[in-house]
Homo-oligomer: A and B are copies of this chain.
Amino acid sequence: MIGTNKVKLINSLRIKKYRDKNRLFIVEGDKLVKEYLELNAGVNMVAGEAEWLAQVPDYLLDRAEQVIEISSAELKKLSSLRTPNKALAIVHMRSDELKPESLKESLSIVLDYIQDPGNLGTIVRLAAWFGIRNIVCSLNSVDLYNPKVVQSTMGALLHVDIYYTDLEKLLSGAVKTGLPVFATTLDGISIYKSTPVDRGLIMFGNESTGLPAGLVKYADRKITIPSFGNSGFGLDSLNVATSVAVVLSEFKRPGQ
């Protein structure tokens, strides 16, 4: 049985304002909740159905500050998933202060005004897969702790650091220190002809409008994924998450 105050807290965490105020967010489902416990990733509370709790080892449950048994009906009321899945956790946000020096020695992704939660989630998953530690988002990008983002990262959130900051400041700082900056645009050099590097910032823009000139001007190099199809109607660009996939693969592939 879950108390009224917890129900109120969980419902409030659907809204960014209350997530930020409490520095807490929600993770849902058997697999994801277990992953947050396995990595001891600051779990504040686990609410699970009796059968689910019974099969999670005690040493994992002990990592949560609080464990509550809830009924399937209670979980259904609390869940934001279409098909609620046995457990839900409240998790502490990590510290998210950007240390620009942490960007100097590796490749990082910079995202301007990404609006779709599914896209951000997919990009986080790609970053984890391709060994990218840092993602920097513009302040007007979708919130990382949006439930749809959290669920679509599939746990990759635990392997990537994501920051929100003023991109103009970040980029002008990078230019001063000589950190390479790449902008993905429709009129750049083919990524297959552009020599990849192992450090620097790779910028991707909004789903509809791409990168604004005000950010592209900071780039040392504009890069483009060339189309191999017939040009024509309905072929103006790739989805931003699939663009990130292609660019990361090309930068990370061995044998350059």
Query: Taking the complex as formed, is A26 at the interface, i.e. its CB lies under 8 A from any CB of chain B?
Result: no
Q: Which of A63-71, A124-132, A141-149, A170-178 contacts B (4 or more CB under 8 A)?
A: A124-132
The docked-state distance in angstroms from the alpha carbon of A154 to that of B235 is: 8
Cβ–Cβ < 8 Å partners of A250 in chain B: 249, 253
Which residue of B32, B122, B232, B255 contacts A242 across the interface (Cβ within 8 Å)? B122
Q: Which of A4-12, A78-86, A94-102, A222-230 contacts B (4 or more CB under 8 A)?
A: A222-230
Query: Taking the complex as formed, is A214 at the interface, i.e. its CB lies under 8 A from any CB of chain B?
Result: no
Asked if A125 and B238 make an inter-chain contact with CB atoms under 8 angstroms apart, the answer reads yes
Asked if A234 and B122 make an inter-chain contact with CB atoms under 8 angstroms apart, the answer reads no
The docked-state distance in angstroms from the alpha carbon of A225 to that of B128 is: 13
Which residue of B130, B233, B255 contacts A229 across the interface (Cβ within 8 Å)? B130
Chain A residues with a Cβ closer than 8 Å to the other chain, count = 45
Asked if B122 and A235 make an inter-chain contact with CB atoms under 8 angstroms apart, the answer reads no
Given contacts A229-B129, A241-B242, A242-B245, contact A234 B192 (CB under 8 A): no
Given contacts A192-B254, A249-B246, contact A159 B38 (CB under 8 A): no
State how many angstroms separate the Cβ of A32 from the closest Cβ of chain B. 8
Residues of A within 8 A of B (CB): 32, 35, 38-39, 118, 122, 125-126, 128-132, 153-159, 192, 225, 227-230, 232-236, 238-239, 241-246, 249-250, 252-255
